[in-house]
Amino acid sequence: MRIERLELRVLRLPLVRFFETSFGRVYDRTFLLVRLDGGGLTAWGECVADDNPYYGSETVETAWHIITQFLASLVVGVEFADPREVYPAMRRVRGHQMAKAALEMAAWDLAARQAGRPLSALLGGTRAEVAAGVSIGIQDSLEQLVDRVGAELSDGYRRIKIKVKPGWDLEAAAAVRERFGDIPLMVDANAAYGLSDAAHLAQFDAFGLMMIEQPLDDDDIVDHAVLQRQLTTAICLDESIHSVRLGRDAIDQGACRIINIKPGRVGGHAESVRLHDLCAARGVPVWHGGMLESGIGRAHNLHLSALPNFSLPGDVAASRRYYQPDLIEPGIEVGPGGLIPVPKGPGIGVEIAMDRVERATLRRREILA
């Protein structure tokens, strides 16, 4: 496989509904798309970096800089025997997992298209459909939260995650439990707490949650291990797990019992598969996280979610919750039982609506071999 051409675009799309986490409320999403061409085929990847460094340290502009100045020359014009060689080829660049992942994931799409097979088959997927959950942002009132949860449950979603922060936490979980009883429920704090909040966080134990996601800082493992010993609720790490090695360390130290895998956070599909396999070997379940992706990133996520140890419903939801219309046609939909079929065509297996991509594009750069 030889990558002959790289095209990078900055796009902006309005969200169907605002999304609020402990680090703020957003009404639209700015992100990069990567297009790779090779052997007469075209492939796509999406960079999950946002226009701000609030979830993680990367942004659209840092990813643009790192890809154009440093990564492109390590990938464009290079012959790869296997997409697993792409991440190691970028090793001299430290960090910048989201920028690396966008290129690496597009390379997987290219390899799968060249093989004429769905991406999930190359990654080792064993499922034809994946269980969908939803992530519900912080709302203006508990009534609105309960309404949203009700709407998502009637759409068939198999697990509800609510975003929490100091001042919007125990009451939110209580309101959902009171109205909907014993549904599969979890909370995500996006690093909004400190170890000094341990006693407060322990009050979540009363709600029988599936897990509490990323209560403490994104660069922390040890304090999460201290906290986990004080909770009966399982801790799931998201932001803290930037690599397979950090995943290993977190498990070994007892910092979490579950891991959220986002390929953008660990450097792409190959690193995600390695993390998935490590967790499977240690008896740690994983689920696929989401970053408000367009249909292109969403399709990538579905293919990866087909691997066997993605045993909990992920933040892989229908296109229409995010963008209307999406950049793919048809959009991704949730079927009966809250399941989403993994696309069956070659590569990511979705049709890209180029007219919509063009309309949403703010900037474009072409890099040739």
Please give the single-letter amino acid code of residue 266: V
- Looking at the Cβ atoms of 38 and 290, the one nearer to ligand OSB is 290
Active site residues: 163, 262
Beta-bridged to residue 20, according to DSSP, are: 25
Examine residue 240 and tell whether it contacts ligand OSB (CB under 6 A). Answer: no
- Work out whether 294 is an interface residue with ligand OSB (CB under 6 A): no
Please list, in sequence order, all residues whose beta carbon lies within 8 angstroms of the beta carbon of residue 338, skipping any fewer than 6 positions away. Answer: 131, 132, 156, 157, 158, 313
| Cβ atoms of 164 and 186 closer than 8 Å | no
Choice between 47 and 291, CB closer to ligand OSB: 291
Q: Does 188 bind ligand OSB (CB under 6 A)?
A: yes
Residue nearest to Mg ion (CB): 238
Taking CB under 6 A as the criterion, the residue among 97, 190, 240, 294 binding ligand OSB is 190
Name the residue nearer to ligand OSB (CB basis): 86 or 332.
Answer: 332
Task: Work out whether 314 is an interface residue with ligand OSB (CB under 6 A).
Answer: no
Which range of residues in 62-70, 76-84, 211-219, 241-249 is near Mg ion by CB under 5 A?
A: 211-219
Report the site for ligand OSB in 98-137 (rule: CB under 6 A): 135
Using CB under 5 A, which of 50, 152, 169, 188 touches Mg ion? 188
Distance CA(191)–CA(98), nearest Å, equals 19
Long-range pairs for 215-218 at CB < 8 Å and ≥24 separation?
215/189, 215/191, 216/191, 217/191, 218/56, 218/191
Window 38 to 67, contacts with ligand OSB (CB under 6 A): 55
Single residue of 267, 289, 313, 346 touching ligand OSB by CB under 6 A: 289
Q: Alpha-carbon distance 53 to 261, whole Å?
A: 19
H or E stretch covering 260: strand 258-261
Q: Give the one residue of 109, 152, 315, 326 binding ligand OSB; rule: CB under 6 A.
A: 315
CB 326 within 8 A of CB 297: no
Would you count residue 238 as binding Mg ion (CB under 5 A)? yes
Q: In which region does residue 52 sit, left (phi positive, over 0), alpha (psi from -120 to 50) or beta (all else)?
A: beta
Q: Tell me the three state secondary structure of residue 149.
A: helix
169 counts as binding Mg ion under rule CB under 5 A: no
Count of residues engaged in binding ligand OSB, rule: CB under 6 A = 11
Smallest distance, ligand OSB to C-beta of residue 22, A: 9
Residue nearest to ligand OSB (CB): 290
Q: Which residues pair with 14 in a beta bridge?
A: 28
Closest separation in Å from C-beta 315 to ligand OSB: 4
Q: Which is nearer to ligand OSB, 137 or 268 (CB)?
A: 137
User: How many angstroms separate the CA atoms of 73 and 63, rounded?
Assistant: 14
- Asked if residues 237 and 250 have their Cβ atoms less than 8 Å apart, the reply is yes
The one segment of 25-33, 65-73, 167-175, 210-218 that binds Mg ion by CB under 5 A: 210-218
Q: Which residues bind ligand OSB (CB under 6 A)?
A: 55, 135, 188, 190, 238, 289-292, 315, 317
